[in-house]
Amino acid sequence: MRKDLGALPAVFPMPVLMVGTYGEDGKVNVMNVAWGGIAGMDKVVLYLAKDRKTLKNIRAKKAFTVALADEAHIKEADFLGTASGNTMPDKFAKTGLHAVKSSKVDAPIIEEFPLTMECELAEDAEMFGEIRIVGTIVNVNVDEKVLDENGKVDASKLNAVMFDQFRFGYYKVGEKFAQAWNVGKDLMK
């Protein structure tokens, strides 16, 4: 039996995206963004509320980074999504995480998160009461420990986490169980 739940954001899983920027004062700002994802081969999209410090920083610097949160740093990632850079200017310092300046864009790379997309601002537009930010991915920076023997990212080594919008939980990404563009081949016959 099925049941109607009404209109709600029912996409699962949602990546836990950590958006890094520099403020005009040069301080590192990182925000846990729940609404975002890939928008093309070299594009990432984020939806931000109009009052976010992160949005102000992206507009000023025309750049940002997007890291995938991992299980080992979920406490810090959760805090960075709860605390506001508008009212707590030292929120990044409270986490104990470490940032280095990207060599590709004017934004920080958080060393503890294993994969970071370095992005230049491509589009900034209001949509549905939120601000849609589209970034062009100019580089993906990874910790070598998440690479396989061929130098490719091994998703099972990322220990990435997903957000559950239904019950507001974080979930570990599981192991690979099938090969994409292969497991359904026999249905093509």
Q: Which residues contact 98 (CB under 8 A, 6 or more apart)?
A: 110, 111, 112
Task: Tell me what pLDDT residue 175 has.
Answer: 85
On the 0-12 / 13-18 / 19+ scale of CB atoms within 10 A, 136 is middle
Q: Say if residue 89 is preceded by a cis peptide, omega within 30 of 0.
A: no
Mean pLDDT of the chain: 94
Q: How many whole angstroms separate alpha carbon 120 and alpha carbon 141? A: 14
What are 71-102's pLDDT values in tens digits?
Answer: 999 999 999 999 998 898 889 999 999 999 99
DSSP notation for 135-158: EEEEEEEE-GGGB-TTS-B-HHHH
What are 143-162's pLDDT values in tens digits?
Answer: 999 999 999 999 999 999 99
Say if residues 120 and 139 touch (Cβ distance below 8 Å): no
Task: Tell me what pLDDT residue 10 has.
Answer: 85
What are 162-176's pLDDT values in tens digits?
Answer: 999 899 999 998 888
pTM of the prediction? 0.94
User: What secondary structure letter does DSSP report for 175?
Assistant: -
Domains of the chain, first to last:
14-188 (2.30.110.10)
